């Protein structure tokens, strides 16, 4: 036992009468015991502890009770304990070998303990030991307590209740639970204490519990760490996080919400509902910088008071400052600066951040939020506030742009709705503020009127009524119409109709928008209608016909409304006698029934009716020709206008006339019959002539042919007399053939049997052929036959035979009716109207004016007598006319008696060209 370094002692417990340990005596100790305690073994063996160390009773630790429990229960325990009487720290292992006896094995740990204290004394953390038994209180607190909670260790020792005095009210419950062992000791606990200086201190504490043998908590040893700073950062981050969430909600809101009213209210709600900001309010301006809209969140009724102040132009301090500055205004001591602000009571614990809502150079209003005062100067707080301010301002800006765009579109729509309308805008005094481009076109004046009064150009008589209508728009804000005359600079007064409405511009000013239309035409039509009515009245009264107006009543009844003078004179009824009476009342039942039947017919048919009637009236027995004209309204005949002519005299005359008419009719029928007969006779004649001419031509050709052969003397010589006679036969035959050919041609054309065969040829060639044929005739009369063609090429598309015949007939006549030694010429040229004009002129006898038209008719000759000196049967020109017309041309003559004639005809080139081009 002596060899071991641990102290060893063997004891017996001493109980009092109530069997409670009250002392113990030493039975054995070893030498290490003597060294570790400083007691002498021989002096203490058999002695009681209270005798050896009487001070033991004053030790905070109840050694006797502690050992007693082990001696009685036999439990082995180890403790680390300071012994006050020996002033040393021991680690003691205690066990009981048999009841009432106990052994202690111990070492001196005072040196370890000192080291611990040194550590504790220098620790940044608060270190303590709190004992609950026998009396609660701190047994150790390190000096760091002074800096962490502001109280010295002594102050702790003197006030065992100090932790409960310092704990933050919100954490009191937690601390109570903790010391009652209801929360685990091994988990660190974060609690708020109030520092001696009043500030909140966050302490994270961790404790080791000590229990007695019965399991009750006897002491707590622990460390408390000041985590205030960490907590503040956490709290700040938490706050900023909430602000961010609010901003995010605002961002989502602004893309959806375009109504500014809703927008600012919801924005305020979003900013406070995440608890980022305690309160938020926004005030928006109109163009005059007057507050027009407000919204708030997080206030009770105090904001309503502010709203009223804002409406009265009374801006709070923060707002004035914010409007003046482009940085965030921080109100950290509202009680000083915001004396008059109804929000200040709310703001006393908090700081306000206020900023103007601005995008580009446009200021929309201000926004103010309240934040924990400690964050009022935080850069990140400002950054986020700036962000939300920028977002709201931007959306207000966009909304305004859109609003402006919408207004412009509406304006444009109004203007373009009807291009024939004019749109003007005026202020409430009627001075032009806008004039649509159509104003100049329709009303003759444009933008030069801007600023002038819109009534100045109105007709003096219409100004008052137009101003009245305008005033009504201003007063009632309702649409109103007006019609008036306007002095057009070129047209004089024109009638205009206008519809005006009022609207509020963005700047809050009232504008009058007026749509104007020129109704001059309508007005003229109305005037015309008025004139017609007047004219009708004049006619009604002035006409020779007797006229009356009847109103249609129910049940086939009628009532006279008015009559004209003629009616009164010719019937003998005065207007007073007639007016308001029914026909039966006026004329009696029998005549009235007849008259009513006619009126009913008109009502039934709804169209004017005519009839003759025989009536005996005050003015006498008369025959009337009456017309009834219905006046229809809403598809029913409401009135009848009657017009009666006294035809008594005419009726008598008619009888005589009827007889004459009958005769005339019979004569006309006869004449028609004769005309018909004549027409068919003409056709028969033409057919007869065509047939006979054909029959005549065949033998005549033999006569001419054979006489030609005889003249050639191939059948034997002829003497002079024979030659003369045969030559006569030939000449006469040819002459006869010419006549027959003419008859044949004409009758063919008249009976429609002749066909036209067109071909392309040069007219010049035809002229040459004519020259050849006519040469002998011309030479015989010493007539100079000239052919002049201005064109090298006179290609026509025509019936060559017919054209040749035309020219031949004209030249033949020209030579025939021209004396010897005179001149006949043929000319051709292309005339302006794209026609070829051919003229055959002579210096012959000419044609009297009264025959000019006729000579183109068949068988017409100027000298039709049997003693006439020129041959021919009067068909040549009719053939010319027919042929020319068949080619779509014209023929005519200009002539003077004794001077000569020019026969001209045209051939359309167009026709030729078209036909030519259409050839394959």
Q: Site size for ligand ADP, by CB under 6 A?
A: 21
Does an H or E element contain 549, and which?
strand 546-552
**Angstrom distance (rounded) from CA 480 to CA 502:** 10
**With respect to ligand ADP, which residue has the nearer C-beta, 461 or 863?**
863
Per CB under 6 A, the segment of 166-174, 235-243, 450-458, 867-875 that binds ligand ADP is 867-875
Least distance (Å) from ligand ADP to the CB of residue 875?
A: 6
Bridge partners of 458, per DSSP, are 486
User: Which letter does DSSP use for residue 831 in this model?
Assistant: E
DSSP string, 473-503: HHHH-S-EEEEEEEEETTTEEEEEEEEEEEE
The contact mask relative to ligand ADP for 228-257 (x = CB under 6 A, - = no) is ------------------------------
Contact 367, 281 (CB under 8 A): yes
As to burial, measured by CB atoms within 10 angstroms (0-12 exposed, 13-18 middle, 19+ buried), residue 674 is exposed
**Which residue number is nearest to ligand ADP in terms of Cβ?**
872
Q: Does 861 bind ligand ADP (CB under 6 A)?
A: yes
Say whether the peptide bond before residue 134 is cis (omega within 30 degrees of 0). yes
Contact 78, 70 (CB under 8 A): no
User: Which letter does DSSP use for residue 856 in this model?
Assistant: G
The contact mask relative to ligand ADP for 816-855 (x = CB under 6 A, - = no) is -x------------------------x-xxxx-------x
Contact pick of 707, 901, 906, 911 for ligand ADP (by CB under 6 A):
901
Contact pick of 27, 874, 888, 890 for ligand ADP (by CB under 6 A):
874
Least distance (Å) from ligand ADP to the CB of residue 700?
A: 18
**Angstrom distance (rounded) from CA 408 to CA 417:** 14
Residues 6 or more apart whose CB falls under 8 angstroms from that of 417 comprise none
Closest residue by Cα to residue 444 from 489, 412, 474, 410? 489
**With respect to ligand ADP, which residue has the nearer C-beta, 472 or 851?**
851
Least distance (Å) from ligand ADP to the CB of residue 903?
A: 7
Least distance (Å) from ligand ADP to the CB of residue 892?
A: 13
Q: Does 811 bind ligand ADP (CB under 6 A)?
A: no
As to burial, measured by CB atoms within 10 angstroms (0-12 exposed, 13-18 middle, 19+ buried), residue 878 is buried
**With respect to ligand ADP, which residue has the nearer C-beta, 102 or 808?**
808
Least distance (Å) from ligand ADP to the CB of residue 849?
A: 13
**With respect to ligand ADP, which residue has the nearer C-beta, 391 or 745?**
745
Residues 6 or more apart whose CB falls under 8 angstroms from that of 223 comprise 123, 125, 126, 127, 205, 206, 207
**Angstrom distance (rounded) from CA 866 to CA 863:** 9
Least distance (Å) from ligand ADP to the CB of residue 783?
A: 12
Q: Which of residues 557-596 bind ligand ADP (CB under 6 A)?
A: none
Q: Which of residues 311-370 bind ligand ADP (CB under 6 A)?
A: none
**Angstrom distance (rounded) from CA 210 to CA 567:** 141
Contact pick of 563, 643, 789, 813 for ligand ADP (by CB under 6 A):
813
User: Which letter does DSSP use for residue 603 in this model?
Assistant: H
User: 3-class DSSP state for residue 836?
Assistant: strand
Q: How many CB atoms lie within 10 A of CB 607?
A: 12
Q: Does 421 bind ligand ADP (CB under 6 A)?
A: no
Per CB under 6 A, the segment of 36-44, 155-163, 690-698, 856-864 that binds ligand ADP is 856-864
Per CB under 6 A, the segment of 1-9, 215-223, 646-654, 876-884 that binds ligand ADP is 876-884
Per CB under 6 A, the segment of 463-471, 540-548, 755-763, 807-815 that binds ligand ADP is 807-815
Bridge partners of 10, per DSSP, are 28, 103
Contact pick of 872, 881, 882, 909 for ligand ADP (by CB under 6 A):
872
Contact pick of 873, 885, 897, 910 for ligand ADP (by CB under 6 A):
873
**With respect to ligand ADP, which residue has the nearer C-beta, 876 or 908?**
876
**With respect to ligand ADP, which residue has the nearer C-beta, 583 or 844?**
844
Residues 6 or more apart whose CB falls under 8 angstroms from that of 162 comprise 138, 151, 155, 156
**Angstrom distance (rounded) from CA 299 to CA 322:** 21
**Angstrom distance (rounded) from CA 458 to CA 471:** 16
Least distance (Å) from ligand ADP to the CB of residue 881?
A: 9
Least distance (Å) from ligand ADP to the CB of residue 698?
A: 23
**Angstrom distance (rounded) from CA 29 to CA 9:** 4
Bridge partners of 205, per DSSP, are 189, 224
**Angstrom distance (rounded) from CA 222 to CA 205:** 7
**Angstrom distance (rounded) from CA 421 to CA 440:** 11
Per CB under 6 A, the segment of 4-12, 547-555, 745-753, 869-877 that binds ligand ADP is 869-877
**With respect to ligand ADP, which residue has the nearer C-beta, 517 or 771?**
771
Least distance (Å) from ligand ADP to the CB of residue 683?
A: 21
Contact pick of 875, 884, 907, 909 for ligand ADP (by CB under 6 A):
875
CA torsion, ordered 640, 643, 648, 649, to nearest 10 deg? -170
Contact 650, 658 (CB under 8 A): no
Strands 823-831 and 784-789: what pairing? parallel
**With respect to ligand ADP, which residue has the nearer C-beta, 797 or 817?**
817
Least distance (Å) from ligand ADP to the CB of residue 779?
A: 18
**With respect to ligand ADP, which residue has the nearer C-beta, 294 or 813?**
813
Least distance (Å) from ligand ADP to the CB of residue 823?
A: 12
The contact mask relative to ligand ADP for 757-796 (x = CB under 6 A, - = no) is ----------------------------------------
**With respect to ligand ADP, which residue has the nearer C-beta, 265 or 813?**
813
Contact pick of 876, 906, 907, 911 for ligand ADP (by CB under 6 A):
876
What is the crossing angle of helices 876-886 and 720-750, to 10°? 40
| Residues contributing to the site for ligand ADP (CB under 6 A) | 809, 813-814, 817, 842, 844-847, 855, 861-863, 872-878, 901
């Amino acid at each position: 036992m002596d060899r071991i370094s641990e102290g060893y002692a063997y004891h017996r417990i001493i109980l009092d009468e109530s069997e409670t340990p009250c002392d113990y005596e030493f039975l054995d100790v070893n030498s290490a015991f003597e060294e570790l305690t400083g007691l002498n073994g021989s002096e203490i063996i058999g002695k009681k502890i209270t005798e050896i160390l009487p001070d033991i009773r004053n030790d905070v630790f109840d050694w006797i009770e502690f050992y007693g429990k082990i001696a009685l229960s036999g439990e082995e325990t180890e403790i680390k304990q300071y012994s006050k009487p020996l002033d040393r720290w021991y680690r003691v292992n205690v066990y009981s070998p048999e009841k009432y006896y106990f052994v202690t094995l111990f070492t001196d740990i005072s040196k370890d303990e000192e080291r611990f204290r040194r550590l504790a004394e220098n620790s940044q953390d608060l270190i303590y030991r709190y004992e609950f038994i026998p009396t609660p209180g701190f047994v150790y607190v390190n000096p760091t307590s002074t800096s962490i909670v502001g109280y010295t260790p002594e102050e702790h020792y003197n006030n065992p209740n100090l932790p409960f005095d310092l704990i933050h009210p919100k954490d009191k419950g937690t601390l109570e639970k903790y010391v009652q062992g209801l929360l685990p000791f091994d988990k660190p606990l974060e609690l708020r204490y109030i520092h001696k200086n009043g500030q909140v201190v966050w302490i994270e504490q961790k404790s080791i519990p000590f229990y007695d043998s019965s399991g009750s908590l006897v002491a707590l040893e622990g460390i408390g760490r000041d985590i205030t700073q960490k907590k503040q950062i956490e709290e700040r981050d938490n706050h900023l996080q909430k602000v961010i969430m609010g901003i995010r909600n605002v961002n989502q809101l602004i893309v959806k919400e375009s109504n500014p009213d809703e927008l600012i209210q919801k924005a305020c709600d979003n900013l406070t509902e995440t608890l980022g900001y305690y309160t938020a309010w926004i005030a928006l301006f109109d163009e005059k910088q007057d507050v027009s809209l407000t919204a708030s969140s997080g206030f009770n009724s105090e904001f309503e008071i502010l709203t009223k102040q804002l409406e009265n132009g009374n801006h709070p301090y923060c707002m004035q400052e914010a409007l003046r500055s482009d940085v965030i205004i921080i109100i950290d001591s509202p009680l000083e600066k915001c004396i008059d602000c109804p929000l200040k009571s709310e703001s006393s614990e908090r700081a306000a951040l206020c900023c103007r809502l601005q995008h580009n150079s446009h200021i929309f209003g201000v926004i103010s939020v309240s934040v924990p005062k400690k964050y009022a100067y935080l850069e990140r707080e400002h950054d986020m506030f700036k962000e939300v301010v920028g977002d709201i301002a931007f959306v207000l800006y966009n909304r305004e742009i859109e609003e402006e765009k919408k207004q412009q579109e509406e304006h444009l729509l109004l203007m373009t709705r009807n291009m024939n309308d004019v749109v003007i805008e005026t202020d409430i005094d009627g001075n032009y503020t806008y004039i649509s481009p159509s104003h100049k076109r329709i009303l003759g004046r444009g933008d030069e009127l801007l600023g002038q009064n819109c009534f100045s150009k109105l007709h003096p008589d219409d100004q008052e009524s137009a101003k009245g209508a305008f005033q009504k728009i201003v007063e009632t804000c309702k649409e109103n119409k007006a019609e008036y005359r306007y002095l057009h600079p070129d047209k004089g007064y024109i009638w205009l109709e206008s519809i005006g409405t009022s609207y509020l511009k963005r700047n809050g000013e009232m504008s009058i928008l007026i749509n104007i239309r020129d109704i001059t035409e309508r007005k003229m039509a109305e005037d015309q209608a008025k004139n017609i009515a007047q004219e009708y009245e004049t006619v009604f009264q002035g006409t020779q016909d007797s006229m009356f107006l009847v109103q249609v009543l129910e049940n086939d009844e009628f009532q006279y409304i008015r009559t004209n003078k003629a009616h009164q004179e010719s019937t003998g009824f005065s207007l007073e006698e007639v007016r308001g009476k029914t026909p039966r009342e006026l004329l009696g039942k029998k005549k009235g029934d007849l008259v009513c039947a006619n009126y009913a017919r008109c009502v039934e048919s709804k169209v004017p009716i005519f009839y003759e009637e025989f009536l005996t009236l005050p003015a006498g027995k008369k025959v009337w020709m009456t017309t009834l004209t219905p006046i229809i309204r809403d598809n029913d005949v409401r009135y009848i206008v009657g017009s009666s002519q006294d035809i008594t005299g005419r009726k008598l005359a008619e009888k005589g006339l009827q007889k004459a008419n009958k005769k005339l009719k019979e004569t006309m029928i006869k004449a028609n019959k004769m005309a018909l007969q004549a027409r068919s006779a003409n056709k028969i004649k033409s057919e007869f002539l065509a047939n006979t001419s054909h029959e005549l031509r065949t033998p005549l050709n033999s006569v001419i042919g054979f006489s030609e052969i005889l003249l050639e003397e191939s059948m034997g010589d002829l003497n002079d007399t024979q030659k003369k006679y045969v030559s006569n036969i030939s000449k006469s035959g040819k002459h006869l053939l010419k006549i027959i050919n003419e008859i044949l041609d004409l009758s063919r054309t008249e009976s429609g049997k002749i066909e036209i065969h067109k071909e392309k040829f040069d007219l010049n060639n035809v002229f040459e052929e004519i020259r050849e044929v006519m040469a002998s005739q011309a030479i015989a009369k010493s007539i100079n036959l000239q052919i002049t063609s201005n064109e090298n090429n006179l290609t026509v598309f025509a019936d060559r035979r017919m054209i040749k015949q035309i020219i031949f007939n004209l030249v033949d006549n020209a030579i025939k009716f021209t004396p010897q030694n005179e001149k006949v010429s043929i000319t051709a040229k292309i005339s302006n109207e794209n026609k070829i004009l051919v003229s055959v002129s002579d210096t012959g006898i000419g044609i009297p004016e009264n025959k000019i038209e006729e000579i183109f008719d068949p068988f017409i000759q100027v000298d039709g007598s049997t003693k006439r000196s020129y041959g021919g049967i009067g068909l040549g020109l009719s053939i010319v006319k027919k042929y020319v017309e068949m080619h779509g041309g014209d023929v005519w003559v200009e002539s003077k008696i004794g001077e000569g004639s020019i026969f001209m005809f045209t051939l359309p080139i167009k026709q030729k060209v078209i036909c030519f081009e259409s050839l394959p």
